[in-house]
Chain A
Amino acid sequence: MKEQGAGIELPERKAGHSFIQEVQDRCGENIRLCYQCLKCTAGCPTAPYMDFNPNTIIRMIQWGLKQEVLESKAIWLCVSCEACGTRCPNEIDIGVLMDALREMSLEQGYRAREKGIVALHNAFMASIRRGGRVHEATMLMEYKLRSRDYWTDLIPGMKLFMKGKIPLFPRRINGMDSIREMYRKALKKAETKRG
């Protein structure tokens, strides 16, 4: 069967379909099925703050615009609320797709343009790595130091602290060996893919 749009020279064709295939292999979703109904974007709570709407991101993947997609703000502004994936008539799970894009962006060393969000995720991951559970006080402070945004939410944070909702001392679980093993393997996998 002759493909739609044959004759139009798009980056995807030049690159031998590598990007879309790479994305599909990673997330297991069939991105070629998208017919731009825009349901994902209509239901997306953070689309107004994105540089590209979710449906545009999908079109860009089809076009093979790898760098533009993996360096977009959109992939980091997605909060995985899954409204898109639930409503997609072609059953593309866009939440899972966004996870895959973020992972690829990190592994392949693309510039993350939402540094604050990456800093928060890193602080969160580091906190679990230290104790097996999240300790809010140190996690938030690590985020503040990583993002260099020292003052935002200081007052609400103090209010929470006064209500006894931010415990002072961290705890550690017994099975830290298991947690360390998970981190070792997970980071090694990411490293292998990068190399």
Chain B
Amino acid sequence: MTSIFITLAYLSVLAIMGLLIYVIGFTAYSLVFGKPGRGTSAKRIAAHEGGEMYSYFPGCTSHSTAVEYDLSTKAVLKTLGVELVEIDDWNCCGAAAVHSMNRFLSLCLPARNIAMAQKRDLELVVPCAGCFNMLKRAERALKTDLDARREIESTIGFTYREDLTIRALIDMVVTGIGFRRIEERVQRPLAGLKVASYYGCALVRHPKTTQLDDPENPQYLDKLMGTLGATPVEWSYKTDCCGADLALTHGAAVVKLVNKIVGMAKEAGAQCLVCSCGLCQINLEMRQDVNALGLPVFYFTELMGVAFGLKGTDWWAKHMINPSALLGSLDLR
């Protein structure tokens, strides 16, 4: 008994030491050798048809948990002849953590990206709903709170021009590119695929900040899915919150919220969900009861890619619930 206890204690001490060494090591690494990020210089994506260009704010998850969102966005927009120009040296938008702790910092972080973006005369496109929300919050403060504006401008060292348009990627796709041009590109209609459109919170709320679609019954994703040949289901949980970052601190609460959302999608007859936020996607796929539900969660750009018949896409392996079987059963993969 004692020997087991000692072994366990020893192992846990080792593990904790390991964690400590890892944190200290990589912090030191980042401080000493930290090279500028790969995406710091303007990275251009060759356009097919040319002409249409947007500034692009990828956000931190584009290199980590939502890498397939970034890949599919670039592939799909390239097909549509839209060029994305990544903002120079962009930084994290701060997300919910920062605005929960410090309002001023939560405005400064996205404002620096606005400062970088307004160097070009292009509309700014943001794929992640969370980043989009933070950038719009900063924009609202810059436009309406003159004291905050002065302080932010002096901290970052820029002058805000009010003409920069910040758009969520889904908004740019639906109202900028438009359904007609998307329909023309559809080579493999998603016939038979029943989709529940999940908008979550950050994309549509608070409407005074986001100014996008309807806050209670948004339609952009549903209409886009219809254009791609899929069947959007009617359901009432499309803007219910997934629990966001409580997933890490209050896992059980988020499991309950997510199972409610995915369960309702299944009850409405959906085979999968479609969303536009990295955090929503990972929460919905990772925290749902896979055995009872098992609905894959797509980024809308991935389904556009399928409908456009894009080849050589390796997005599915990145999913926590692999959608290959579902797509295969409908002859889409």
Contact with A141, one of B22, B63, B64 (Cβ below 8 angstroms): B22
A103 at the interface (CB under 8 A from B): yes
A175 at the interface (CB under 8 A from B): yes
Residues of chain B from 195 to 209 with CB closer than 8 A to chain A in the complex? 201-202, 205-208
A49 at the interface (CB under 8 A from B): yes
Contact with A171, one of B38, B96, B99, B100 (Cβ below 8 angstroms): B38
Instruction: Give A79's nearest chain B residue, CB to CB.
Output: B244
Q: Which of A16-24, A60-68, A184-192 interfaces with chain B? A: A184-192
B92 at the interface (CB under 8 A from A): yes
> Which residues of chain B come closer than 8 Å to A45, judged between CB atoms?
240-241, 243, 257
> Which residues of chain A come closer than 8 Å to B20, judged between CB atoms?
145
A46 and B246 contact, CB distance less than 8 A: yes
> Which residues of chain A come closer than 8 Å to B101, judged between CB atoms?
102-103, 106, 121-122, 125
How many of chain A's residues have a CB under 8 angstroms from any CB in B? Answer: 75
A71 at the interface (CB under 8 A from B): no
A86 at the interface (CB under 8 A from B): yes
> A138-B23, A153-B251 known; A99 and B30 CB under 8 Å?
no
Q: Which of A30-38, A51-59, A157-165 interfaces with chain B? A: A157-165
How many of chain B's residues have a CB under 8 angstroms from any CB in A? Answer: 72
A133 and B37 contact, CB distance less than 8 A: yes
> Which residues of chain A come closer than 8 Å to B12, judged between CB atoms?
150
> A86-B206, A117-B246 known; A159 and B320 CB under 8 Å?
yes
Contact with B64, one of A93, A159, A165 (Cβ below 8 angstroms): A165
B65 and A160 contact, CB distance less than 8 A: yes
9 A-B pairs whose Cβ atoms sit less than 8 Å apart in the complex: A46-B253, A124-B95, A125-B102, A138-B26, A153-B251, A166-B65, A169-B29, A181-B155, A182-B156
A-B residue pairs, 9 tightest by C-beta: A172-B34, A124-B97, A81-B241, A82-B205, A186-B105, A81-B201, A171-B37, A170-B30, A116-B249
On A, residues with C-beta under 8 Å from B are: 45-46, 48-49, 76-77, 79-83, 85-86, 93, 95, 99-100, 102-103, 106, 114, 116-117, 119-122, 124-125, 128, 130-138, 140-145, 147, 150, 152-153, 156, 159-160, 163-175, 178-179, 181-183, 185-187, 189-190
On B, residues with C-beta under 8 Å from A are: 12, 15-16, 19-20, 22-23, 26-27, 29-31, 34-38, 40, 60, 63-65, 67, 89-92, 94-105, 108-109, 112, 151, 155-157, 201-202, 205-208, 215-216, 239-241, 243-246, 248-251, 253, 257, 282, 286, 317-318, 320
